[in-house]
Amino acid sequence: MPLELQVIRASEFVRLNADALLDFEQSKTALRQLAYACRKRGLTRALLDVRSVPVPSKPQFTITQLAALVATFREAGFGKEDRLGVLYLSDVYGGIRKFAFLGRLGGLQVQAFTEFERALEWLSEGNESPAEGRLTAVPIPIKRPAGRSRTRALVLRAKGNSR
């Protein structure tokens, strides 16, 4: 199984390179190793670099298998606060993007990228929870002149409707 595992401390994420087509079981093992490497080092970011993997002649995995790969990653310890970036050159059959989509549906932070810099930028973003990063509404008191109505009607008209 031709894999290269790198821990890159400067950006605090683990990178896994694969340079050959992996079957389903090998892919599960690789994802498990990646998640375990992150857990062991206390890291919450991972990059799966499949740019050097040759394009298969047909789709490599079914939707069910892709969902099982996502589940394997979760079972190995990756959770909602962790991030997995998948870096690829070509996704002819959409399997990489489907994997990322299924991961997001499952509550994980998974993104697919064609550019290393964009992947690195996303991985290095803050560790805040989604709720912490949102702006909250602050009520602003409005003093109204006496005699003016406190409610206003908003009328929306469809384009072309003259009424």
User: Among residues 76, 133, 79, which one has the least CA distance to residue 103?
Assistant: 79
Q: Which amino acid is at 33?
A: Q
DSSP state of 51: T
| 35-53 per-position pLDDT tens digit | 888 888 888 998 888 888 8
- Of 1.10.540.10, 3.60.21.10, 3.30.10.20, 3.30.750.24, which CATH number belongs to 3-92+104-113? 3.30.750.24
Strands 83-87 and 45-49: parallel
| 101-154 per-position pLDDT tens digit | 999 999 999 999 999 999 988 988 865 444 444 445 566 666 766 666 555 555
DSSP string, 64-123: HHHHHHHHHHHHTT--TT-EEEEE-S--TTSHHHHHHHHHHHTT-EEEEES-HHHHHHHH
Alpha-carbon span 119 to 133, nearest angstrom:
20
Strand partners, 4: 17
